[in-house]
């Protein structure tokens, strides 16, 4: 499954609409107004930024080091600003934000194949279960806490990856997919004047209605919804949020110069504007070979991007109303493999770590504990549905709610048996 098939808004849609025409959007001064409005309203509805590490980071080389174990690896632990909590030496900036963070070291999720694991963690349901395509957490947040009057989507994904979409919730809650944060959404400005644009849009709407009257279908509705969303966004001042070029050079440097850092900047701008859920992807964590060099490089990107994002949101009064989640497909094996020229680690869903920051959670703590080798969860195992119910609870979503599918089948947002991490909930 991919976003191309799931109806997300893509550059080609705006190229078509741009050719139809809309005047350039003047949004000078709007970001400050929108940011102030977001700070006022998000006390009621919390937002989420998911930093998804495609491929599965090694817990033993990031946030659950075991320096005295077999397969300990090359990295040293460092202290954080919370006594007794240590993390990898390659997260020195994040170490200063431990008081706002929680390390979930008890993750144990069962799925060891990339696509299935990613689907499970995004939706809370196993792929193929019940013959349905389930909505991701981003789509659920869009449905439950999203602002329906916001002229840009309440769910945005950045840098590709397996973000998944709205499933049975339909096209209204599909994500807007941004492949390159530095370019934002291309072709928002039209090639003709407003009058000509409006005339062409009216004609398109008439054609869409006539078609759907005679050939009603889910695909037709999705097509119409996509274009309506695109037109609305093209005319909105909020679309300026997608342009990160005006960010101060020193701040952009702190975030990091790569796609991940730029994605984090864009995520912050979208949260300021009122978007409820933003996912930023960072791939490359499938470290079957050359684990340590790759993890060192990737950790540096995360440390710069995530830590500056936390600081930036905090300074703008948005950290307590924005949950940041850091996680991947699963962890990596406690023991090192020597199959290639450089050592690596393999897939390991049995015991691993995810991270939650902000959102009003009780920070400065570790939930769950692995054994001396980092191979088994000894205290407070956290299943996928435990994780999903916790995230929903932080965001103000009733995870026990039943949602009707298009055929009238009631499905819970999170399956029965979930055990939310109450220690995190303020």
Structure-token match 């996912």, residue found = 279
CA distances from 296 to 75, 76, 300, 339 (A): 9, 12, 6, 20
Sorted by where each begins, the domain ranges of the chain are 46-165+177-184+245-424
- Cβ neighbours of 204 (radius 10 Å): 17
To 10 degrees, what angle do helices 291-315 and 259-273 make?
A: 30
- Which parts of the chain have pLDDT scores under 50? 1-30, 33-34, 39-42, 190-192, 197
- Spatial distance between the Cα atoms of 72 and 122, rounded to a whole number of angstroms: 30
235: Cα separation from own chain's centroid: 26
Structure-token match 């979503």, residue found = 397
Dig out the tokens for 227 from the structure: 């274009």
CA distances from 362 to 167, 370, 394 (A): 32, 21, 11
Q: CB-based contacts of 62: which residues, under 8 Å, 6+ apart?
A: 87, 88, 91, 295, 299, 353
One DSSP character per residue, 240-308 reads GGG--TTS-HHHHHHH-SSHHHHHHHHHHHHHHHT-SEEEEEE-----SSSHHHHHHHHHHHHHHHHHH
Per-residue pLDDT, 211 = 59
- Asked if 61 and 298 touch (Cβ cutoff 8 Å), the reply is no
First-to-last CA distance in the chain? Answer: 37
b/e map of 158-177 (b: 16 or more CB within 10 Å)? bbbbbbbbbbbbbbbbbbbb
H or E element in which residue 384 lies: helix 384-395
Burial class (CB in 10 A: 0-12, 13-18, 19+), 217: exposed
CATH code, 46-165+177-184+245-424? 3.40.720
Largest CA distance in the chain: 71
- Closest by CA to 1, choosing from 125, 175, 170, 167, is 167
- Asked if 305 and 261 touch (Cβ cutoff 8 Å), the reply is yes
Residues paired with residue 422 on neighbouring β-strands, in sequence order: none
What's the whole-model pTM score?
A: 0.83
């Amino acid at each position: 499954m991919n976003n191309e098939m799931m109806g997300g808004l893509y550059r080609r849609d705006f190229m078509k609409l741009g050719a139809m025409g809309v005047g350039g959007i003047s949004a000078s001064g709007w970001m400050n107004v929108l940011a102030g409005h977001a700070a006022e309203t998000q006390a009621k509805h919390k937002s989420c930024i998911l930093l998804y590490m495609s491929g599965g980071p090694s817990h033993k080389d990031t946030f659950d080091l075991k320096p005295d174990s077999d397969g300990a690896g090359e990295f040293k632990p460092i202290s954080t600003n919370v006594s007794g909590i240590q993390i990898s030496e390659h997260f020195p900036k994040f170490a200063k934000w431990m008081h706002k963070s929680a390390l979930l070291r008890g993750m144990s999720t069962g799925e060891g194949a990339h696509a299935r694991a990613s689907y499970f963690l995004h939706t809370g349901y196993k792929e193929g279960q019940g013959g349905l395509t389930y909505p991701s957490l981003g789509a659920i947040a869009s449905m439950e806490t999203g602002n329906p009057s916001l002229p840009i989507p309440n769910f945005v994904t950045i840098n590709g990856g397996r973000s998944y979409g709205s499933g049975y919730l339909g096209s209204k809650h599909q994500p807007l997919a941004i492949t390159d944060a530095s370019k934002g959404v291309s072709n928002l400005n039209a090639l003709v004047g407003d009058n000509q644009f409006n005339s062409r849009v009216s004609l398109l709407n008439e054609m869409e209605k006539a078609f759907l009257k005679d050939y009603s279908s889910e695909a037709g509705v999705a097509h119409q919804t996509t274009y309506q969303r695109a037109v609305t966004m093209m005319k909105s001042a909020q679309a300026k949020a997608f342009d990160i070029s005006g960010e101060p050079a020193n701040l952009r440097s702190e975030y990091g110069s790569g796609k991940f850092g730029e994605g984090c900047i864009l995520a912050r701008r979208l949260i300021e504007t009122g978007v409820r859920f933003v996912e930023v992807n960072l791939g490359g964590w499938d470290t079957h070979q050359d684990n340590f060099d790759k993890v060192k490089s990737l950790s540096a990107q995360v440390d710069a991007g995530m830590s500056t994002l936390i600081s930036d949101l905090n300074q703008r009064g948005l950290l307590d109303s924005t949950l940041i989640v850091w996680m991947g497909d699963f962890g990596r094996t406690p023991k090192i493999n020597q199959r290639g020229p450089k050592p690596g680690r393999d897939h390991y869903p049995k015991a691993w770590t995810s991270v939650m920051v902000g959102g009003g959670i009780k920070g400065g703590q570790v939930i769950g504990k692995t054994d001396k080798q980092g191979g088994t969860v000894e205290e407070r195992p956290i299943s996928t549905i435990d994780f999903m119910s916790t995230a929903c609870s932080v965001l103000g979503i009733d995870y026990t709610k039943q949602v009707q599918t298009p055929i009238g089948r009631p499905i819970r947002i999170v399956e029965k048996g979930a055990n939310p991490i109450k220690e995190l909930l303020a």
